[in-house]
Amino acid sequence: MSVIFRFDNVYLMKWIFRGLIALVILILVIEIGIFIRPKNLPSSTQSLSLTFTRAFPGNELVLAKGYYGTELRKEKGSAPIYLEGVVRVGIKLEDLMIEEREGVIYIFYPSPRLLGVDLAHYLDFSEELDEEFHNQVLRSANFYLFQQAGKEGILKEAEIKLRKLLSQLSKVIYPDKPVIISPESKRGKIERE
């Protein structure tokens, strides 16, 4: 054993020398690899979709939600039937189109649409039950609730929120690229321009 650790063993010294050279080169290569290699980032158009997919696993983006109430009367001045329930408006994420052309990011969004209505509660104020009117109102309760929410601007509110959300997200994801956010319906016009 004493033969192996002696410093005058040329054979051993030679191998230690070679080993050290290899180690120095290896560490240099690792250092260069870590600090000089380009970052492996996803392509820019993918990253917004990825962020959305991660945040909304259900593929549905609810943009406006409210608990709306509406009253329906058989004729003017008569006692109403009051309906209240939840109205949800939004988009399907798969309908969101993100493209990159000549360094510009284009985001085309669909018009927000009804995702669901649930009648939660109703109250009939009439003193005598008008069965036909009562049943007709309850049958179409979801339609009336959505109609009321529409009158109060739920779709507009949803579109404003969507634009704001897309603008905020794109500013963070593509800070140095111009981004055009437009409704899907204006896509043809933008492409012609």
Partner 1 sequence: MSGNKRYFIGIFILAVMLIAELLVFFLLSKQKDIAKQKEVEFALAQLSKFPELVTAKYRVDSLYCIDGRRNRINLLGISLWQIERYACWKIKSEVIAGYDWDKIKWQMSKDKVILQVPAPELLGVNYKKGKLVYAKNWGEFSLREKDFMPVIRRRAFKTARELGIFADSEQGLEILSGLLEEKINLPVKIEPPAENK
- Tell whether residue 93 is a contact of partner 1 (CB under 8 A): no
Residue in the block written with tokens 């109060």: 152
- Answer for which of 49, 169, 183, 184 binds partner 1 (CB under 8 A) is 169
- Tell whether residue 37 is a contact of partner 1 (CB under 8 A): no
Cα dist. 69→85, 140, 144, 146 in Å? Answer: 7, 14, 9, 10
- Cβ(142)–Cβ(117) below 8 Å: yes
Q: Site size for partner 1, by CB under 8 A? A: 49
- Answer for which of 1, 35, 103, 139 binds partner 1 (CB under 8 A) is 35
- Tell whether residue 164 is a contact of partner 1 (CB under 8 A): yes
- The C-alpha atoms of residue 192 and residue 107 are separated, in whole angstroms, by 16
- Cβ(115)–Cβ(155) below 8 Å: no
Q: What is the maximal distance between C-alpha atoms in the chain?
A: 116
Which residue type does 144 have? Y
Closer Cβ to partner 1, 35 or 103, answer by number: 35
- Tell whether residue 28 is a contact of partner 1 (CB under 8 A): yes
Determine the number of helices (DSSP H) and then strands (DSSP E) in the chain: 6, 6
- Tell whether residue 129 is a contact of partner 1 (CB under 8 A): no
Residues that bind partner 1 (CB under 8 A): 7-10, 13-14, 16-17, 20-21, 23-24, 27-28, 31, 34-35, 39, 41, 47, 50-51, 54-56, 62, 64-69, 71, 79-80, 82, 84, 86, 123, 125, 152, 154, 161, 164-165, 168-169, 172-173
